Structure 1
Amino acid sequence: MIFRKIRHNRTSDAVIGQLERLILHGVLRPGDRLPAERELAGMVDVSRPILREALKELEDRNLIYSRHGGGTFVADVIGPVFSPATAELFRRHPPAIADYLEYRREIERLTARLAAERATDADRHIITTVFTAMRAAHDAGDTEREVDLDVEFHQAIGEAAHNIVLLHTLRSCYRLLVDDVFYNRAAFYRYSGSSEKIFGQHQVIFDAVMRGDADAAGAAAMAHMDFVGQVVHEVVRAGDRDVVSALRLEQRQAGARREAAPGTGRVEGDRTAGVEEGGEGRKRRSARRVREDEESS
């Protein structure tokens, strides 16, 4: 149980402090539902009026929100890091992909290093659980499941780094991934040979973090991001080629339709006949001049 009984000073401030720490450290994630009021009051060992006061204050701080008849949930406190408007700018301007990948390359290196140095037994258990599920999805050829667990794997390593600012920054980056702002992750995995290579890279990162080798973990994370950047570049180029090829095909088909349209062939035929008639006329005039020259001589 993540909630702890408040032994002393059973006030709303004590409840607020406990819930804020759980949100800050990423234990309570955006969208997580809090237990019902009676149950939560028993967990933290305070009266329901005190709990209601604490929840109201947290809601005023925009850390939680309530749905009528649906319960109380943790708010998306990391969303503003990249606002919807910013995400749309990224989506509409492909050069932002390179900046995003460059940033993630460095931040993933730092995260993997810190996770290797700081991971607790509980952290390693979480990372192992996620990685095992990812391996099962990979072996089963379940790309959609593996894509989702890819993000979970990186988040688990981010949590094991035990740096609050880093954790929330990573989550904002992964939100862009989940929303396919920069590229389609499923298409990325289906790109020739990518799935096997990505899983192999995750295996290397996992092994390094598990054995506490910070240098190897950081190097593996950077190598992984270098590969991601290479494949994303190829996927984007392939997409551009597809667009150009489609435009060429459309133009050829439009030209064929114009040539087959009623009246088009007649115009072309008349024009051709005119050219041919003009050619024969020139030949007759040349022959006449030759005869006139012969008679005059």
Structure 2
Amino acid sequence: MEAALVHVLAASSTGLARSLSRQTMRDVIAGKIAALIASRVLEPGDEIPSERALAAALSVSRETVRGAIQSLAARGILDVTHGTRTRVAKSDVGGLGLSLPGRLDVSDYTLDDVHAARVLVERQVVTEATGRISDDGLATLGRSLAAQEACLDDPVQFLICDREFHAAIYRSCGNVLLADLALDLYTYLLDSRRRIVSRPGRIAESIADHRAILEALAAHDAEAAVAAFARHEMRIYHSTAALLTGTEARGAEALSTVREPDRED
């Protein structure tokens, strides 16, 4: 399962990509690891990939990776113990969080407000991405989907892959601001999302949604891609609402009411 985590760490987040010129490679790698912790995809006690695996995936030396890990360990963020895998020690990444996605604190808003905003933003982002996505971008999504299918029983690994799948699509829209905004909305209640995908069958459902999204993007069919994204977001909305209220999601009944977005005249 380590390959799934390594694959995600290899891709730059939108926020970090704009500041590469002001950071050393060690800082960039440390920032990527910190981003996963800040968004609560990686939590205290979770293992991170080995130095060798990270170095191979990121095309940097093991010394560079080691420096990034030591930097985070010096801040108390990672726990490095000889003879064991490096683990996340705490969730507070301190000042590193200032350079990570999350400029908009979506936690201040209600689930309904975030859902409505996400549907609107993703509709525009996905429409643009469908026309702009490259063969390399589609290949990245294909690898991400394969990684997701390899971690059906690992919610943490799946959410890491899930985040990169969405981020890769957002970046393909060609508008950095919209991509960042979409990613900010995506991070809403990720801790709840981790609990949801821990339930039987939930990861498989998300993977099926992702497969439909990828097929639409590969066909450059904007209408189908927007509809697939809307269905996926509606599933997330209902499962999150059910968790927050302590009720069971209505599942197929709720999803059957999803309307495909109307075409613009």
TM-score by length of 1: 0.49
Within 5 Å, which residues of 2 pair with 1:214-293? 214-238=222-246
Q: CA deviation at 1:24?
A: 7.2
Structure 1 position 34 matched with structure 2 position 34: no
Q: Which residue of 1 aligns with 2:196?
A: 188
Pick aligned residue for 1:76 from 99, 106, 118: 99
Listed one character per residue, the Cα deviations across residues 54-87 of structure 1 (whole Å, up to 9, x for unaligned) are: xxxxxxxxxxxxx9x959x9961644332xxx63
Within 5 Å, which residues of 2 pair with 1:59-208? 76=99, 78-82=101-105, 87=107, 89-90=108-109, 96-138=110-152, 141-178=153-190, 180=191, 184-191=192-199, 193-208=201-216
Q: Any stretches of 5+ residues in structure 1 without a counterpart?
A: 1-21, 37-66, 91-95, 241-297
| AA aligned opposite 2:140 | I
Q: CA deviation at 1:196?
A: 2.4
User: Structure 1: how far apart are the matches of 2:134 and 2:232?
Assistant: 24
Whether the 8 Å contact between 2:127 and 2:226 is mirrored in structure 1 is: yes
Distance 1:228 1:131, change over 3 A: same
The SS at the match of 1:117 is helix
| AA aligned opposite 2:141 | I
User: Structure 1: how far apart are the matches of 2:214 and 2:104?
Assistant: 28
User: Which structure is higher in helix share?
Assistant: 1
Q: CA deviation at 1:191?
A: 4.0
TM-score by length of 2: 0.55
Q: CA deviation at 1:173?
A: 2.1
Larger Rg: 1
User: Structure 2: how far apart are the matches of 1:25 and 1:186?
Assistant: 23
Distance 1:70 1:146, change over 3 A: closer
Distance 1:185 1:78, change over 3 A: closer
User: Structure 2: how far apart are the matches of 1:125 and 1:188?
Assistant: 28
Q: CA deviation at 1:177?
A: 4.3
Q: Which residue of 1 aligns with 2:3?
A: none
Listed one character per residue, the Cα deviations across residues 104-140 of structure 1 (whole Å, up to 9, x for unaligned) are: 12222222222211101222222222222112212xx
Q: Any stretches of 5+ residues in structure 2 without a counterpart?
A: 1-11, 27-67, 73-95, 249-265
Aligned Cα root-mean-square deviation (Å):
3.5
Whether the 8 Å contact between 1:112 and 1:205 is mirrored in structure 2 is: no
Whether the 8 Å contact between 2:13 and 2:101 is mirrored in structure 1 is: no
Which structure has the higher relative contact order (CA within 8 Å, separation 6+)? 2
